[in-house]
Amino acid sequence: MASKASNPHPAEANPIPEDFVVKDPEAFARNMARMLEQIGKAAAAWVGPREKGDAIDEGPVPMVEIVQTLSRVSEYWMTDPARAMEAQSKLFANYLTVWSNSIRRMTGEAPTPIFEPPKSDKRFSDAEWDSHLFFDFIKQTYLLTSRWADDLVERAEGLDPHTRHKAAFYVRQISNALAPSNFIMTNPELYRETVASNGENLVRGMKMFAEDMAAGHGNLRLRQADYSKYEVGRDMAVTPGKVVAQNEVCQIIQYAPQTETVFKRPLLIVPPWINKFYILDLNPEKSLIKWLVEQGLTVFVVSWVNPDERHADKDWQAYIEEGIVFGLDTVEAATGEKEVNAVGYCVGGTLLGASLAYLKAKGDERIQSTTFLTTQIDFTHAGDLKVFVDEGQIQALERAMESKGYLEGSQMATAFNLLRSGDLIWPYFVNNYLRGKEPLPFDLLYWNADSTRMPKANHLFYLRNCYHENNLSRGRMEIGGVKLDLSKVTIPIYNLATKDDHIAPARSVFLGCGAFGSKVNFVLTGSGHIAGVVNPPAKNKYQFWTGPAPKDVGSFEDWLLAAKETRGSWWPHWLEWITPLSGDQVKARKPGSRKAKPIEDAPGSYVKVKS
C-alpha cells in the first residue's frame, strides 16, 4: 500500500515549468516558417525521383509484406469476438490503472507504476519522464501498449514459426517508431530544447533532413556520424601493404612485415563482401590486421569489388574460384608457399566453409587450417535476419534486381540497422532532425555507412541456400556440380562466436560446428558482432570462454556450463592455437614477387568505390 508521506510527486510539483513556456513568440514563429521551408525541400527531394519515374529503393521489407503478416495475427483475434473482447478488456483495464495512478499522484499519493522501462533504456532517462505527471502518463501508456501488442503476437495460435517471428519483428519496429521519445510534444527533453532555442533546433534538423533526403535520391539516408572527417587509406585502413593481384571480383592485398622473421605459412583473410574489409584495419589502435603482422604472420586479405551491372551473374562458384582460389594462387606466387592458414569473417566465413568442401572434392588441400569469426554454417537459429527471407520475399527481391543486376547497398544497410533500430535508427533520428545536432565523427559508424552492393546471382544463392533452405550444413548445397560434404573436412578449425551477436547468434555458430569432420575448437567472446571480434589486447575489455569440443557436449547450454571464462581479448588465445600450425620462422617477405608484382598501395582502389 502506497504511503502519502513517501510521495515524491505532490500535485503542486507539477505546474507548467518555466522552461516549458515560449519566451519569444515572434522568434519562434519565424523559426517555424524556416522549418516549414526545409520540410518543403525535403518533400521536393522525395517527390522528384518519383515524378521522373526513377527507380526507388523501397527498403528491405515491402509494406504489403508487413500488412499481410500482421493480418495473420489479427485474424486469430478478430475471428472470435470473445477472444477479441478479452484482449481489449485487458488493455483498457491497464489504461484505467495508469489513469487511476495519475489521479492518485495528483492527490498526494505515490502508487507503484505498473510498467517501468529497463534501466538500459536510454529513451526515458530524463528525470521528467518520472517527475512530471503528463510525461509519466505518456510513458506508462506507451509501455503497456507495446507490451500488449507483443503479447498479441505471442499468444496468437495457428501461426507457423516464421510468420510469428516476422510478426514479432514488425511489431517491435512499429513500437520503436511510435515511442514518445521520438516526438517533440511527448519528449520533455526535446520540448525544453525547442522552447529554449525558439525552435532553432528544428530549423537545423529539418535542413539536415532535406539534405539527407536529397542524398538518398528520394529515400532518407540517415547519417550516423560526421563522415567528412574520414578517408579510407588516410585515416583508416592504413596498415602498410601492396595490392599484389586483382581480377573482376577482388584485389589481393599483401601486408608489409613488421618483424625481421615471419612464420613460414601465410595467412589468408576472407572478409564479408556485404561490408568492406577495413573493419579489420579500422585504425592502428584497433587493427586486427596490424596486430597479426606484428606477431610475425604474413597476411593476405581479399578485398572484394563493389559490384555493378557487370557482376550480376557472379555466383558463389565465381566468388570461390575468382576470390578464394585466386587468393591461394596469389599467396603461392608471392611467397612460394602452397600451404595456407585461412580466416573467414561473417559471410566471408560461410563462403570459406563452403569452399573447404568444394576444394576438398577437387583435390585442392592448400588450406591447412581455418579460423571462423562470427560465421554461420548452420542457419537454424540465424536470428532476426531470417525475417527478410522466405520464398515470396526472395522472388520479390529477384524481380527488383532484374534491371540493374544488383541490390543497392542501402537496402542491406537498412536491414542491418533494423535489427537494432532502437540503437541504430531512432536515436540518430532524434539527435539529427529534432535536436538539430550534427552527429559526431565515429570511425565504426563511417564504416557501417560505407555500404556495398550485392550481385544478383551471389545474393540470391546465399539467401536461398543458407537462410531459407539451410543447405550447407545438411550436405545439400551444390556448387559447380559438386555436392558439398563438410563432414569430409578434417583440418583444424577455430570457431569464434560473440555473446551478444544479433547477426550470427552464438547458438547458431555453435550448431554449425557439428557439420565438420574435425573436432572444432569453439570459443565464445563477450560483446557483439564487431566489438567482440575487434578487441585489441591492450584495451583489456570483455572476456572469452573456452570449453570442450562441441561434438563432446550435447548442446550449447551444456557447453556454457562446462566453459571456462578468461578476462580480456581472445586474440592471444588464438595466437597460441595458430602458432603450431604456422611452421618455422623464415626471413620476412616484402609484398609481391616477380610472379605477383605490386599494383598499388594498400588498401587498394576496390575498397574505395562508393555505392
Integer Cα distance of 199 and 27 in angstroms: 8
Phi and psi at 609, nearest 5°, equal -75, 125
pLDDT at position 55 is 62
Is beta strand 478-479 parallel, antiparallel or unpaired with respect to 482-483? antiparallel
With 0-12 CB in 10 A as exposed, 13-18 as middle and 19+ as buried, what is 6? exposed
Residue ranges, comma separated, of all CATH 3.40.50.1820 domains in the chain are 241-408+453-608
Distance CA 3, CA 111 (A): 8
Could you tell me which of 585, 315, 282 has the C-alpha nearest to residue 450? 282
Residue 62, burial from CB neighbour count under 10 angstroms (0-12, 13-18, 19+): middle
Which helix (H) or strand (E) element contains residue 370? Answer: strand 367-373
Residues annotated as catalytic (active site), given as ranges: 346
Q: Are 604 and 303 in contact (CB under 8 A)?
A: yes
Higher pLDDT, 75 or 60: 75
Angle between helices 188-196 and 200-215 (to 10 degrees): 110
User: For residue 494, which of 381, 382, 571, 585 has the smallest C-alpha distance?
Assistant: 571
Instruction: Give the closest residue to 297 by CA, choosing from 369, 345, 353.
Output: 369
Could you check whether the bond before residue 603 is cis, i.e. omega within 30 degrees of 0?
A: yes
Q: Characterize the bridge pairing of strands 493-498 and 521-525.
A: parallel
pLDDT at 22: 87
pLDDT band for position 1 (cuts 50, 70, 90):
very low
CATH number for the domain running over 241-408+453-608: 3.40.50.1820
Residue 116, pLDDT > 90, answer no
CB 111 within 8 A of CB 104: yes
pLDDT (tens digit per residue) in 261-309: 999 999 999 999 999 999 999 999 999 999 999 999 999 999 999 999 9
Cell 538518398, located at residue: 216
Contact 76, 158 (CB under 8 A): yes
pLDDT tens, residue by residue, 314-345: 999 999 999 999 999 999 999 999 999 999 99
Per-residue model confidence as pLDDT tens digits over 365-385: 999 999 999 999 999 999 999
Mean pLDDT of 178-182: 97
Q: What is the mean pLDDT of the chain?
A: 93
Looking at residue 425, the DSSP 8-state letter turns out to be T
Look up residue 515 and give its three cell numbers. 557439420
Instruction: Tell me what percent of the residues of the chain surpass a pLDDT of 90.
Output: 87
For the entire predicted model, the pTM comes to: 0.92
Q: What is the 3-state secondary structure (H, E, C) of 501-548?
A: CCCCCHHHHHHHHHHCCCCCEEEEECCCCCCCCCCCHHHCCCEEEECC
pLDDT of residue 281: 98
Element spanning 302, H or E: strand 299-304
